Chain A
Amino acid sequence: MTVLDSVLQILVSGITLGGMYAVSAIGLALLWGVMGMLNMAHGSLIAIGAYASVFAVGYLGGTWYLGLPAAMIVGCLAGVLLYFATARWMVGSGQFEMNIIIATVGVAIVVKSLLIIGFTGYPQRQPFALEGGIYLGNVLVPYQTMLIVCVAIILMMALSWLLKATRMGRAIRATAQSQKAAALMGIPAERIYLQVMVIAGVLAAISGVLISSTANTSPSLGEVTMLKVFIICVVAGLGNIPGTILISFALAVLEAAIQYALSAKWAFPLLLGIAVMILIWRPYGLFGAARIRKV
């Protein structure tokens, strides 16, 4: 292995991780950016998405790629349910940001129990996966990596289009900037909250499929991922979507480098350490300004 091979190897795994993290992190960042919601049930949405694919393909016998639309549909429904279970009753309440944390922690506990009852606690194989790959010099680039990166790029482009070019997206950004001004324009905050939770649900569910395809599907899948994704969001500056995407890839490449140079068990502690140092240097994250949410 030459140095070039090592670098290539790190980039390939880093970009794979980065694509998965970005899709997941955007959902979390969007909820915070638009409604000040720290969604502690984000991990549940991730796990639900992974199991939706397992169920559609493994249990119902669909073709492997049907796992993705299955996850999207279930993620959409999960977003609606999460809205009606939590935010619906808290919009406009004084302690929204605190109440929603408590409520979503509760949801996360319930969802994990339900997943264990429905699918047992044993890890299962994610069917949304491709075998094989191509060699770039000595480095194998798995087809699965390309699939993940493609899905991630398409999703990010779709979201960017949705937010920039549609009436709904403009209203979402307007609400993020000033809920009061948005109300004067005739935009109901409740409708926007529901829309954003559906978008976050779909993105998280897809990320669950991607993430479990490189590991396994288990009821605690979302918890580990959510911790990493949360670190990404905080380092980027909570709520800043372009920054979140950039940091997803930066931290993922870093994680891949640590795994390659040291070992997998060092990756998380070192990442956490780096995140803490960045936050000491810039308490509102690299792209965040105090109390300003940007979508």
Chain B
Amino acid sequence: MRDDVLKLDGLSAGYGKVLVLRDISFRVSEGSVVGIIGPNGHGKTTLLNTICGFVSASSGTIELDGGHLTGLAPHQVAARGVVHIPQGDLIFPDLSIYENLLMGAYLEPDGAVQARRLASVFAMFPKLEERQAQMASTLSGGERRMLGIGRGLMRESRIMLIDEPSLGLAPIVVEQIYDTLKELKSQGRTIVLVEENPSRVVDFADEIFLIDNGEIVWSGQASEMEENENILETYLGG
């Protein structure tokens, strides 16, 4: 058994009095990729936002490497080693690409380490290097996504939470993004990946959780998912 990096236990959360997530429990073990799929508006983003501290849990616990994340502010969760690459990228539009990447290394004050990470991000996304002096607001949708991922790679992480990396991108760009994600997986990183569209996740994730109406309604290996086509049909309309 590999150690659990992330452990959710009976987690419920929502906005105001409206509960969006109900009794979510799962574990993510070191070096594994967990895929979370489910229809639009059913709580996938809320789940990641609860883990990273944007949304506070109304009950249940979140543990990272055995320590509590529940109740911590987002910057504290980040400091524990959670890298969240959010839906919609949340890049800094009026900072240059280079500065955006440096912000990703805010918690990594060692200049030599920063430089090494920057070099490896540039190797992964040569376009970002070419345009490093430009304002981030000048990037296309695909380049923004690359910047969002690159920024997340600028510091050490215990786990990466990636929210809908294929959202709104042309198929060929989605291909590129997934090539990158596969590279991250092969580096042995622990990843929680959220997607509405299950097709990509199935051959990328080790384990899959299907969220419907804020609850986990099915979980299993990716291979089992293909066998259970009726699950997809029931919850995702085929």
* Chain A residues proximal to chain B, CB less than 8 Å: 167, 170-171, 173-174, 177-178, 180-189, 294
Contacts and interface: CB of A to CB of B under 8 A. Distances in A.
Contact of A187 (B86, B90, B106): B106
Interface of A is mostly: helix
Interface string B186-222: 0000000000000000000000000000000000000
B106 A181 contact: no
Interface string B56-100: 000000000000000001110011000010100011111100010
Contacts of A167: 102, 106, 109
B31 interface: no
A294 B104 CA distance: 20
A184 B100 CA distance: 12
Given A170-B95, A173-B94, A188 B75 contact: yes
A173 B79 contact: no
Contacts of B74: 180, 183-184
Contacts of B26: none
**Shortest beta-carbon contacts, A-B, top 10:** A183-B74, A181-B90, A186-B78, A186-B107, A188-B75, A185-B106, A177-B92, A183-B75, A185-B103, A174-B103
A186 B54 CA distance: 13
B94 A170 contact: no
Contacts of A170: 95, 99, 102-103
A184 B86 contact: yes
Interface of B: 52-54, 73-75, 78-79, 84, 86, 90-95, 99, 102-104, 106-107, 109, 151, 155
Interface of B is mostly: loop
B106 A177 contact: no
Contacts of B73: 183, 188
Given A174-B92, A180-B54, 17 more contacts: A167-B102, A170-B103, A171-B103, A171-B106, A174-B95, A177-B92, A181-B86, A181-B91, A182-B103, A183-B53, A183-B73, A183-B74, A183-B75, A184-B78, A186-B155, A187-B106, A189-B75
B94 A177 contact: yes
Contacts of B107: 185-186
A161 to B, nearest CB: 15
Contacts of A171: 103, 106
B54 A181 contact: no
Nearest to B151: A185
Nearest to B90: A181
Contacts of B90: 178, 180-181, 184
Contacts of B75: 183, 185-189
B216 to A, nearest CB: 25
Contacts of B151: 185
Contacts of B94: 173, 177, 294
23 contacts: A167-B106, A167-B109, A170-B102, A173-B94, A173-B99, A177-B93, A178-B90, A180-B54, A180-B86, A180-B90, A181-B90, A181-B92, A181-B103, A183-B73, A184-B78, A185-B78, A185-B106, A186-B79, A186-B106, A187-B75, A188-B75, A189-B75, A294-B94
Nearest to A176: B94
Contacts of B155: 186
A3 B93 CA distance: 47
Contacts of B109: 167
Contacts of B104: 185
Contacts of B86: 180-181, 184
Contacts of A183: 53-54, 73-75, 78
Contacts of A182: 92, 103
Contacts of A173: 92, 94-95, 99
Contacts of A294: 94
B64 to A, nearest CB: 14
A180 B89 CA distance: 11
A181 B144 CA distance: 14
Nearest to B109: A167
Contacts of A177: 92-95
Nearest to B100: A174
Contacts of B102: 167, 170
Query: Which of B52, B92, B99 is packed against the most chain A CB atoms within 10 Å?
Result: B92
Query: Which of A178, A184, A186, A188 is packed against the most chain B CB atoms within 10 Å?
Result: A184
Contacts of A186: 75, 78-79, 106-107, 155
A224 B109 CA distance: 44
A174 B74 CA distance: 15
